[in-house]
Amino acid sequence: MAAMSVAERQKETRSIAPNCRHPRFVFKSTQCTRTPHGNVCFHTVKNYDALIEAFQPRMLVDAQVRAAPVGTYCWILRKREGVPHVYAMKVICEQEIGSLHNFIFLLSSNPGRLLKEDDTFIDAKEVIAAGELEVKRVKVKGENVEREKRDFNLQSGSFMEPIFRMTGWQPINRRRIPKTREMLAEDIDQKEKARKILTDDVARYLSADFASMVPPTLDGPLNRTTIVAHVKSISESLGGRPFIKGAEIITSNSNMELIRSVMSEHIPERENNSSHARPNAGPAKKAKASHPPHPPKQPKRGGTRRIRKRLYKKQTRRC
């Protein structure tokens, strides 16, 4: 039997499961993209094939990642036929074009079915590590020159969250009792050892340093109110500084055109306020609410009050 071409495989894949080539595509519409002219939100994909075609050339591979220009990137390190490769894509808006680590996994996968029946990634075990990369120019001490500094972290909710996820509750069935400080200290120590093994392996391949933070210490008491936020901050610190949260990303006009070509623009009413309005814009006029036309009046049933009352009793009995 002759081998199927890429187009034939894609056609067969779509006939079996139309959405399996763009899994878990979640566009982060709760956060607006900042532009020089104001804030804009996007919420749906017009054409997945056009989306893939538009962003495939923007993906960096291997040596391109190690020499990436200044910017903020999402990256994954995965094995392809037993050989590790690193893939990255520049973050061009705060919304990340969906769940960007998943999107990079999609673009770096072979054509064909990508999801299992339980909606988990096929070959997800090939992902060794994933996170963010920040490339910036810094001044060299004592010299009037600048050099590029590359910081990698492991902040990927798609792939790394299970490694750094912690729970602040004691292992007691059906009871939510906060762990003691000794229990948390032991958990953090185990997570830090696992992180060191992972970063040492990945750093050898990427020839890079990994940003890390010292897990925060809790000064107050451990209780049901403080434990959730504290454990979350520990997990984030183990993965490294979250670049995208603090990055000043303003989407350029050219990138806006690229996004508009494949996304549907939508500004939710709850976000259409003064903080999201375009600069120098006058007060927005309140749109009149559109009401559906009133249905034509039905003729009254019954000619007398007694008949109408009898009909009302019959209807209420049925209810």
The per-residue pLDDT for 80 is: 84
Task: Indicate the number of domains in the chain.
Answer: 2
State what percent of residues in the chain have pLDDT above 90.
20
Residues 20 and 129 in one domain: yes
The per-residue pLDDT for 227 is: 92
Mean pLDDT of 38-65: 84
Residues 175 and 214 in one domain: yes
Residues 248 and 236 in one domain: no
Mean pLDDT of 172-182: 89
Residues 198 and 248 in one domain: no
The answer to the question of residue 293 being in a domain is no
The per-residue pLDDT for 271 is: 39
Residues 91 and 175 in one domain: no
Structure confidence by residue, pLDDT tens digits, 243-293: 777 777 888 888 888 888 888 776 444 333 333 333 333 343 444 444 555
Residues 19 and 164 in one domain: no
The answer, yes or no, to whether residue 107 has pLDDT greater than 50, is: yes
The per-residue pLDDT for 312 is: 52
Q: Domain span at residue 179?
A: 160-240
Residues 65 and 96 in one domain: yes
Residues 236 and 247 in one domain: no
The answer to the question of residue 302 being in a domain is no
pLDDT-based confidence at residue 298 (cuts at 50, 70, 90): low
Closest Cα partner for 210 from 234, 239, 190?
Answer: 239
The per-residue pLDDT for 255 is: 87
Residues 94 and 203 in one domain: no
- When mean pLDDT is compared across 6-20, 82-96, 148-162, 180-194, the lowest value belongs to 6-20
292 compared with 74, residue with greater pLDDT: 74
Q: Which residues contact 113 (CB under 8 A, 6 or more apart)?
A: 13, 16, 17, 20, 122
The answer to the question of residue 300 being in a domain is no
**Cα 114 to the center of its chain, rounded Å:** 18
SS3 content of the chain, % helix, strand, coil (to 5): 35, 20, 45
Residues 218 and 253 in one domain: no
The answer to the question of residue 288 being in a domain is no
pTM of the model: 0.71
